[in-house]
Amino acid sequence: MTTLLARFRLDYGDFKLDVDLKLPGTGITVLFGHSGSGKTTLLRCIAGLQHAPQGLLEINGQRWQDSEHGLFLPTYKRPLGYVFQEANLFPHLTVRGNLHYGLKRIKQNSGTVKLEQAVELLGIGHLLERLPGNLSGGERQRVAIARALALNPDILLMDEPLASLDFKRKQEILPFLSRLHQQLDIPVLYVTHSQQEVAQLADTLVIMEDGRALASGPLAETQSRLDVPLAQEREAATVWQVSVTEHETDYHLTRVEFAGGSLSLPAVDTTVGTALRVQIYARDVSIALEAPTATSILNVLPATVTGIADGRDSQSIIRLQVGDQALLAHITRKSALLLGLQIGMAVYVQIKGTSLLN
């Protein structure tokens, strides 16, 4: 299995980057943070577009940078794919010309198969003879993604690929990215400041702030960390990856399972076995000490308290473990006190609502 080792340090005076990350070699890793947090700089350092004076970068066991030994592979020698915030297509070449630009420059011949796949996956077959100037923002970005994928890269780097698009265009591209996610076997590093994109795409989450990585790890685990500001927010949530096990057609419900338990959702029109993402807002989770016998809430699950922290105003933030999944609950501080919640306690969580992400 591939892993990515990235250690960078640079100092521009008013901006510093100081990270030491080990990231998985599969799935989508989202670098999340506000503007100025250093997430794009980190991505550019990984691509070699920016040269961090101190850096160690290893992908697939191959060193791309090792400043102690004076090694810095220029960008054009790194087997990567890069998608810029503005699609950054070559205006003088047609879509086809753009797609073939990189292909002509790689030695292996497997390229054309990958290109056809990418064109298919992103639905741009009808655009091939057009010039970038005649494409919509969403189309341009899809071409840019296909152009990067066509190279069959070892890693795909995406710098806020949706940030310059309006809401409608975003909704148009997100499904393509989700499909990418299911069909690609290369690791993706995805920079964004959008919580929605985190929820929809991330397998691994890295939270950046002031040029540092505050936290990194599997999505739900990192989302529910009490020491990062994310858990404090009103919109705090955890995302679970589940798969469909059965449809209860009489009740218009779908049953899904996750690592260590199962949930009922409003009916989802997909086949059994389909992978889904379910988002559970912390404010929709309540806690009981004993299994509630008479409740209208369907999703009652045994859980263990793994963390307690003060939230805003009257709130307490409770971190729980449900099966193998982490979960956040926002309850009042008074309730937490009355229940006598402590780390390690066995409790029951009632999940009032879930939202499906794909």
Of the candidates 82, 190, 240, 258, which one interacts with other proteins according to CB under 8 A? Answer: 82
Which of these ranges, 19-27, 88-96, 125-133, 247-255, lies near other proteins under the rule CB under 8 A? 88-96
| Contact call for residues 303 and 321 (beta carbons, < 8 A) | yes
Tokens 């741009």 appear where? 124
One residue of 88, 194, 241, 274 binding other proteins per CB under 8 A: 88
The structure tokens listed for 166 are 């309006």
Distance (Å, whole) CA 211 – CA 14 = 11
Does residue number 76 form part of the binding site for other proteins (CB under 8 A)?
Answer: yes
Nearer to other proteins, 101 or 275 (CB): 101
Query: Can you tell me whether residue 205 is helix, strand or coil?
Result: strand
Residue 24, Cβ neighbours under 10 Å: how many?
A: 16
**Does the protein bind other proteins through residue 133 (CB under 8 A)?**
no
Q: Is 132 in the site for other proteins (CB under 8 A)?
A: no
Nearest to 41 by CA among 60, 19, 13: 19
3-state secondary structure of 48: coil
Which is nearer to other proteins, 47 or 318 (by Cβ)?
47
Q: Determine if 209 is a binding residue for other proteins (CB under 8 A).
A: no
Q: By CB under 8 A, name the one of 10, 59, 151, 158 that touches other proteins.
A: 151
Site string for other proteins, 246-285 (x = CB under 8 A): ----------------------------------------
Tell me the one-letter amino acid at 354: T
Site for other proteins in 22-61 (CB under 8 A): 47-49
**Nearer CB in complex with other proteins: 103/288:** 103
Q: Are 47 and 80 in contact (CB under 8 A)?
A: yes
**73 sits near other proteins (criterion: CB under 8 A):** no
Six-digit token string for 104: 């002509």
Q: CB nearer to other proteins: give 130 or 255.
A: 130
Q: Judge contact between 330 and 301, C-beta under 8 A.
A: no
Minimum distance from residue 157 beta carbon to other proteins (Å): 8
The residues pairing with 308 across neighbouring beta strands, listed in sequence order, are 318
Exposure of 262 in the CB half-sphere (CA atoms within 13 A): 11
CA atoms within 13 A on the CB side of 175: 7
**Beta carbons within 8 Å of 198's beta carbon, 6+ residues apart:** 30, 32, 192, 205, 219, 223, 239
Can you tell me whether residue 47 is helix, strand or coil? helix
In the complex, minimum distance from the CB of residue 75 to other proteins, in angstroms, rounded to a whole number: 4
Q: Which range touches other proteins (CB under 8 A), out of 86-94, 175-183, 199-207, 294-302?
A: 86-94
Cβ proximity to other proteins, 87 vs 208, nearer residue: 87
Cα 253 to chain center, whole Å? 27
108 binds other proteins (CB under 8 A): no
Q: Which structure tokens are listed for 22?
A: 């080990």
- Is 164 a binding residue for other proteins by CB under 8 A? The answer is no
Check binding of 74 to other proteins (CB under 8 A).
yes
Report if residue 305 touches other proteins, rule: CB under 8 A. no
Stretch that binds other proteins, among 79-87, 171-179, 224-232, 263-271 (CB under 8 A): 79-87
Catalog residues that contact other proteins under the rule CB under 8 A.
47-49, 74-77, 80-82, 84, 86, 88-92, 101-102, 105-106, 147-148, 151
